[in-house]
Amino acid sequence: MPGTIVMKFGGTSVADAERLRNAARRIVQKREQGQRVVAVLSARGKTTDELIAMAEEVSPAPAPRELDMLLSAGERISCALCAMAINDLGHRAISMTGSQAGIVTDTSHTKARILDVRADRIRSALEEDSIVLVAGFQGVSTARDVTTLGRGGSDTTAVAVAAALEAEVCEIYTDVAGVYSADPRIVPQARLLPVLSFEEMLEMAASGAGVLQLRSVEYARNHGVRIHCRSSFEDRPGTVVVSEIETMEHPLITAVTHSTGEARVTLLGVPDKPGVAARIFGALADADVNVDMIIQSEPAGEGSSAEVSFTVPRDDLRVSRQTLEGLAPELGISSIVTDEEMGKVSIVGAGMRSHPGVAAKVFTVLGDEEINIEMISTSPIKISCVIGGEHVPRAVRALHSAFELSGDGTEQPEEPFRPPGQ
């Protein structure tokens, strides 16, 4: 619908009454500028964590279907309250659950994928001049159960709604001013990045930049939704994520990202024969474990057995172990070793596609810092190294300075930044 925008507010942006009323005011402001507005809200503050803790108090392994019923309540609370606040500002607002908003997902509870957005109810509310508040992070499955979309899933709700409505932009309002060249908590001189391509943002989200849920970026790229990340507390330009054609130039390196939530699994004495890797990683995929880097090697002199190491999010380590312990006797794997405290640093930049030597520089920088690289993986625009978790902040700072990514302290352009095409 022409003139439609989607505004998404994260948990910290609606954490208390004052912030929620502030979000309501920003929504109303857009409406008063003549836009039709759909706002997607997250659960307030730590609500989702608290709901998870509540479930764990009553059950050691809560049924996923019931967990989804519980967790979806958080976003519902935010939307109902925000609708009340908007009504008090003299505008009509209506809140909807994911299901009422027509967000249809698959049946994979707690990690559901959006299959379709049947937005007619949102559309008719917009046509009746209402502001629509959609509960983020949730939908209704093809089996008619309430589902949730995984942590951070409200971003994906917002992008999916924006795609369905052919909105002009999907604005992500958050507690940081946009996307930075590194986590500003680790690198205070990090630079705010005004424009990013979907490819860069995808690699960044996949390698630890927490600003946007990875799936939301994938969805935006696939459907051509322009994303604009910005602060909900200040009126600053933030970061626009657009397709590559629109981004003007490619710096060699755009950002350093990191994650401290990695774990490594090593399988020793893995029979070296066809089909074994397929069984191992097939079983992990069936258990919904997201495997990241994989290395297989054949220790010298041991002809028929290999060693396989891979990383998984630390939260998936328990399930990974259980799955592999079930499989080990049958496949003849001799032992399973795990390292819980692993981290990862990555550098991302579309310019590295055409420049040799970037990887060598990364290894030199880490070597000079006496940081041991445990595993390496690359894509055309990313180089990632798994390292001990305790070295992560030092590695991030060293890489950020070696590639000269710092802002000069005036990262905000003097002219108000106009996102291209707006």
* Residue whose C-beta lies closest to Mg ion: 152
DSSP helix/strand/coil, 7: strand
43 binds, among ligand ASP, Mg ion, none (CB under 5 to 8 A by kind): ligand ASP
Which residues have C-beta within 8 Å of that of residue 269, sequence separation ≥ 6? Answer: 305, 307, 332, 333, 334, 335
- The smaller minimum CB distance to ligand ASP, of residues 51 and 295, is found at 51
- The smaller minimum CB distance to ligand ASP, of residues 13 and 311, is found at 13
- The smaller minimum CB distance to ligand ASP, of residues 11 and 269, is found at 11
Burial class of 376 by CB neighbour count within 10 A (0 to 12, 13 to 18, 19+): middle
Q: Which stretch binds ligand ASP (CB under 6 A): 82-90, 151-159, 172-180, 367-375?
A: 151-159
**Which one of residues 62, 136, 139, 152 is an interface residue with Mg ion (CB under 5 A)?**
152
Residue 295 beta carbon to ligand ASP: minimum distance, rounded to whole angstroms:
31
Answer left, alpha or beta for residue 90, where phi above 0 means left and psi between -120 and 50 means alpha: left
How long, in residues, is the chain? 422
**Which one of residues 12, 42, 141, 346 is an interface residue with ligand ASP (CB under 6 A)?**
42
Residue 224 beta carbon to ligand ASP: minimum distance, rounded to whole angstroms:
22
Around Cβ 315, how many Cβ atoms within 10 Å? 12
Total residues contacting ligand ASP by CB under 6 A comes to 12
**Which one of residues 7, 9, 11, 181 is an interface residue with ligand ASP (CB under 6 A)?**
11
- The smaller minimum CB distance to Mg ion, of residues 192 and 293, is found at 192
Residue 199 beta carbon to ligand ASP: minimum distance, rounded to whole angstroms:
23
48 binds, among Mg ion, ligand ASP, none (CB under 5 to 8 A by kind): ligand ASP
383 in Cβ contact with 347 (< 8 Å)? yes
Distance between CA 241 and CA 221 in Å, rounded? Answer: 9
153 binds, among Mg ion, ligand ASP, none (CB under 5 to 8 A by kind): ligand ASP
- The smaller minimum CB distance to ligand ASP, of residues 139 and 269, is found at 139
Report 50-79 residues binding ligand ASP (CB under 6 A). Answer: 74
353 in Cβ contact with 380 (< 8 Å)? yes
By CB under 5 A, is residue 208 in contact with Mg ion? no
By CB under 6 A, is residue 111 in contact with ligand ASP? no
Distance between CA 209 and CA 297 in Å, rounded? Answer: 30
Q: Which stretch binds Mg ion (CB under 5 A): 6-14, 74-82, 199-207, 339-347?
A: 6-14
- The smaller minimum CB distance to ligand ASP, of residues 150 and 407, is found at 150
Residue 114 beta carbon to ligand ASP: minimum distance, rounded to whole angstroms:
13
**Which one of residues 98, 102, 139, 153 is an interface residue with ligand ASP (CB under 6 A)?**
153
Start-end of H helices in 14-117: 17-32, 47-58, 64-88
How many Cα atoms occupy the beta-carbon half-sphere of 272 within 13 Å? 13
Token pair of 160 as six digits: 């999916």
Distance between CA 213 and CA 114 in Å, rounded? Answer: 14
CA dihedral 360, 364, 366, 370 (to 10 degrees): 140
Q: Which stretch binds Mg ion (CB under 5 A): 149-157, 159-167, 269-277, 409-417?
A: 149-157
- The smaller minimum CB distance to ligand ASP, of residues 141 and 323, is found at 141
Residue 365 beta carbon to ligand ASP: minimum distance, rounded to whole angstroms:
33
By CB under 6 A, is residue 152 in contact with ligand ASP? yes
**Which one of residues 136, 139, 343, 389 is an interface residue with ligand ASP (CB under 6 A)?**
136
Token pair of 147 as six digits: 């589902």
Burial class of 400 by CB neighbour count within 10 A (0 to 12, 13 to 18, 19+): buried
β-bridge partners, 196: 241
Distance between CA 77 and CA 95 in Å, rounded? Answer: 10
Q: Which of 248, 230, 247 is nearest to 239 (CA)?
A: 230
Residue 10 beta carbon to ligand ASP: minimum distance, rounded to whole angstroms:
6
What's phi and psi for 134, nearest 5 deg? -110, 130
Residues that bind Mg ion (CB under 5 A): 10, 152
Residues that bind ligand ASP (CB under 6 A): 11, 42-43, 48, 74, 136-137, 151-155
